[in-house]
Structure 1
Amino acid sequence: MTESKEQDQLLKRINELAHKNKKEGLTEAETRERTRLRREYLKNFREAMRSNIEMMRIFDNQGNEVTPEKVRKIQRKKGLRDD
């Protein structure tokens, strides 16, 4: 899965704070920023993963669709399926 520029920037800043924390420690404001950035990064990651899964169709070796019914229902609700 490719990451967006926003995710790349979040990860870069999270890593900067992690390195600073190892070297010299973080201020209270930096600790709050790190926590906020981690939450935002994970939220974005989960949304992207959920979207990818909801768009996916799974087929067996014989070419029969075996997408789980739970995913099919979500796809129907979003108008991604005709059946």
Structure 2
Amino acid sequence: MAITDEHINRINELARKKKAEGLTPEELEEQAKLRKAYIEGVKGSLRSQIEGVKVVDEEGNDVTPDKLKKVQAEKGIHGRTLEDLND
């Protein structure tokens, strides 16, 4: 599920209601599902940002960790290919 502004608004609405008066079992379940989807979205976004990082030293040499280079090659990021890793 892609998180929309409506989802964020509903998460906040449920949080306010929980604090003020409590939630029904159905609302607790809805809140848990929305929170899980939100957290997964944040994790995915962070993963994408990290996978896009290219580390370069002061001399301009690519010093990106091999593990990250492999992920980038698998996804074709920064023009990397799996064949490049074998060179």
Q: Which has the larger radius of gyration?
A: 2
Query: Which amino acid in 1 is paired with 2:19?
Result: K
Give the Å deviation of 1:54: 0.9
State the alpha-carbon separation in 1 of the partners of residues 66 and 11 from structure 2: 38
Unaligned runs of at least 5 residues, structure 1? none
State the alpha-carbon separation in 1 of the partners of residues 47 and 65 from structure 2: 14
Distance 1:55 1:37, change over 3 A: same
Give the Å deviation of 1:60: 2.2
| 1:17–1:26 contact (8 Å) kept in structure 2 | yes
State the alpha-carbon separation in 2 of the partners of residues 48 and 55 from structure 1: 11
* Residue 40 of structure 2 corresponds to residue 56 of structure 1: no
State the alpha-carbon separation in 2 of the partners of residues 8 and 45 from structure 1: 14
Tell me the equivalent position of 2:16: 19
TM-score by length of 2: 0.78
Give the Å deviation of 1:22: 0.6
Unaligned runs of at least 5 residues, structure 2? none
Match of 2:7 among 5, 10, 13: 10
State the alpha-carbon separation in 1 of the partners of residues 69 and 5 from structure 2: 32
Residue correspondences, number: 79
